Chain A
Amino acid sequence: MSDLSDLYQEVILDHNKRPRNFRTIESPSHHAEGYNPLCGDRLNLYVQVDGDRITDVAFEGSGCAISKASASLMTDELKGRTVTEARELFTRFHQVVTTPPDQPVEELGKLSVLAGVREFPVRVKCASLAWHTLKAALDREDSTTTE
């Protein structure tokens, strides 16, 4: 079934199995906890911002393959970007995963593997949890939820 393999692509399965930047950062400049009460996914996101640039980002937590892979991919993407770029990327990513599946979406490099969630409406929140948590961290809110 093609749509199932659209969702569980190799890249996603790989990031689920071996999540990148899966650790804590001691006293980061920004931190937030994200929680999806629907499935119990929970993640702690640590962001180190020096000047206006993200120099380190890491996460910890438990969640489904989609939320874990999304967080892992996100942390890979964010390192070295400015805060403004990160916020822009949040908006673009959000746009991609919430566009109806029959409409074209922007190419977002590695992040595009998550566009498959559009076929699975209840799973969109899994893919966006890390990103909402990023926004909360940058906005200096302590916790966020995708419910």
Chain B
Amino acid sequence: MTGLRASRIGGPGPIEVGGTGAGYDVARVREDFPILRRQVRGRPLVYLDNAATTQKPQAVIDALGGYYSGINSNVHRGVHQLSELATEAFEAARETVRAYFNASAVEEIIFTRNATEGINLVAATFGRANVGEGDEVLISAMEHHSNIVPWQMLCEASGARLRVAPIDDRGELILEEFERLLGPRTTLVAVSHMSNALGTVNPVEEIVAIASRRGVPVLLDGSQAAYHMPVDVQALGCDFYVATGHKLYGPTGIGVLYGRRARLEAMPPYMGGGDMIASVTFEKSTWNVLPYKFEAGTPNIAGAVGLAAALDYVTAVGLDVIGAHEQDLLAYGTSALEQMEGVRLIGTARRKASVLSFVMEGIHPHDIGTIVDREGVAIRTGHHCAQPVMDRFGVPATARASLAMYNTREEIDTLVRALERVRDVFK
């Protein structure tokens, strides 16, 4: 097997998928991720910190190297051939992203550094133009800090009010409360598609439907959802959708903001600089067309090319089969952890994906993390940039094992054995 490789750099070219057959061949997929061959502390790496960032397939690593060794140049400027090739690869990447999220036009795809920048962009532009004193921004109680703090800053600057829709003991959004809090002054709803700390998959279709009935635009934070399930922004009907490349098996430093064209057209620019202008005089500058209006300065060209390679890879494997495989692992891991004495899962939503957040009685998550690391198992411990979620469940922190396409049941078994070791240390 030669692996799943994009046939040319940055392009959405044909991809050879081998070995997966009717079932899902996880061993085959693992071969494409070189880091999974390494050892940690003398043991095979068991990487279960995917909600923080995922590992990269060889196709992405090759795309980055190929870009720099083959066509590196600045985009949208030069008349020379390399600049043309770089521009072509960059814009082809945008098309790949558009197709991945099923946006209706490439003009609706803005490259950012990450999801955080996407949210800040909307807060600084849509927010500045539309959110005023007495208005309200509605978020949920399960948000990552990146979908809380930009709105707090906006509210502080504008005199608007941040409203927070509560969640229940399973970690599910209480939809009736959400609907009740969506008032006449609500100017924007911003909620995560999937919670990083709990794994909850929000009923975003209903959220958008409720908000749309009142004419309130919705931003969905897809940082977690976008690599576990197919996302169709047109079907969702949201106004904004943000995602980050490094969780989508792509490079760090590249993210995506989808914005409905009419919204983006009406918004003022974000940062000023090169590329985002149509003309500049000292008296007045005019703005470039979409999407460039929101992309000041030289973008992360290699990052975009790498992200496209990642999306090609994910698409070739198939989000449906990836999702099914991860659901199997989630069920397996949930049952394994539930059977461990003294282990309590935090986040037991009925609709959930890929996240096993838990605490162990009498043992701090940080100690769990250190001990399982000695067994080669990488998990995340702490508040997961979601302190309000920790407060909601009355814990200072949790341990979190999070799954991706290349994880296996055997790795869950290794985690469980490592957790038994934790218990031995603290018995």
Give the CA-CA distance A66 to B362 in the complex, in Å: 13
B interface secondary structure, majority: mixed
By a CB distance below 8 angstroms, the chain A residues around B426 are 8, 13, 16, 65
In the assembled complex, B112 has its CB within 8 A of some CB on chain A? no
- B425 and A39 contact, CB distance less than 8 A: no
* Residue in A4, A7, A65, A120 whose CB lies within 8 Å of B364: A65
* Residue in B362, B370, B374, B397 whose CB lies within 8 Å of A40: B397
Given contacts A4-B374, A40-B390, are A66 and B396 in contact (CB under 8 A)? no
Q: Which residue of B lies closest to A126 (CB)?
A: B366
In the assembled complex, A77 has its CB within 8 A of some CB on chain B? no
In the assembled complex, A42 has its CB within 8 A of some CB on chain B? yes
A residues touching B (Cβ–Cβ < 8 Å)? 1, 3-4, 7-8, 13, 16-17, 38-42, 62-66, 68, 120, 122-123, 126
Given contacts A13-B426, A40-B397, A63-B364, are A1 and B374 in contact (CB under 8 A)? yes
B residues touching A (Cβ–Cβ < 8 Å)? 362-367, 370-371, 374, 381-383, 387, 390, 396-397, 425-426
- B374 and A62 contact, CB distance less than 8 A: no
- B390 and A64 contact, CB distance less than 8 A: no
List, sorted by A's number, 10 A–B pairs whose CB atoms are closer than 8 Å. A1-B374, A38-B382, A39-B381, A40-B382, A40-B397, A62-B396, A63-B364, A65-B363, A122-B370, A123-B366
By a CB distance below 8 angstroms, the chain A residues around B370 are 4, 7, 120, 122-123
Other than the given A4-B370, A64-B367, 17 more pairs (CB < 8 A) read: A3-B374, A4-B374, A8-B371, A8-B425, A13-B426, A39-B364, A39-B365, A39-B366, A40-B382, A40-B390, A40-B397, A62-B396, A64-B364, A68-B364, A120-B370, A123-B370, A126-B366
* Residue in A8, A13, A42, A64 whose CB lies within 8 Å of B366: A64
By a CB distance below 8 angstroms, the chain A residues around B425 are 4, 8, 13
Question: Shortest CB–CB separation between residue A97 and chain B, in angstroms?
Answer: 15
Q: Which residue of B lies closest to A123 (CB)?
A: B370
- B396 and A65 contact, CB distance less than 8 A: no
Question: Shortest CB–CB separation between residue B49 and chain A, in angstroms?
Answer: 14
By a CB distance below 8 angstroms, the chain B residues around A63 are 364, 396
Given contacts A4-B425, A126-B366, are A40 and B371 in contact (CB under 8 A)? no
Give the CA-CA distance A137 to B164 in the complex, in Å: 36
Give the CA-CA distance A122 to B426 in the complex, in Å: 20
By a CB distance below 8 angstroms, the chain A residues around B396 are 39-42, 62-63
Give the CA-CA distance A120 to B387 in the complex, in Å: 25
Give the CA-CA distance A63 to B363 in the complex, in Å: 9
Give the CA-CA distance A100 to B99 in the complex, in Å: 51
By a CB distance below 8 angstroms, the chain B residues around A40 are 382-383, 387, 390, 396-397
- A65 and B367 contact, CB distance less than 8 A: yes
Q: Which residue of B lies closest to A8 (CB)?
A: B425
Among B366, B382, B387, B397, the most chain A Cβ lie within 10 Å of the Cβ of: B366
By a CB distance below 8 angstroms, the chain A residues around B374 are 1, 3-4
Among B367, B374, B387, the most chain A Cβ lie within 10 Å of the Cβ of: B367
Among B364, B374, B426, the most chain A Cβ lie within 10 Å of the Cβ of: B364
Question: Shortest CB–CB separation between residue B221 and chain A, in angstroms?
Answer: 22
By a CB distance below 8 angstroms, the chain B residues around A126 are 366
By a CB distance below 8 angstroms, the chain B residues around A17 are 362
Question: Shortest CB–CB separation between residue B346 and chain A, in angstroms?
Answer: 14
By a CB distance below 8 angstroms, the chain B residues around A68 are 364
- A39 and B382 contact, CB distance less than 8 A: yes
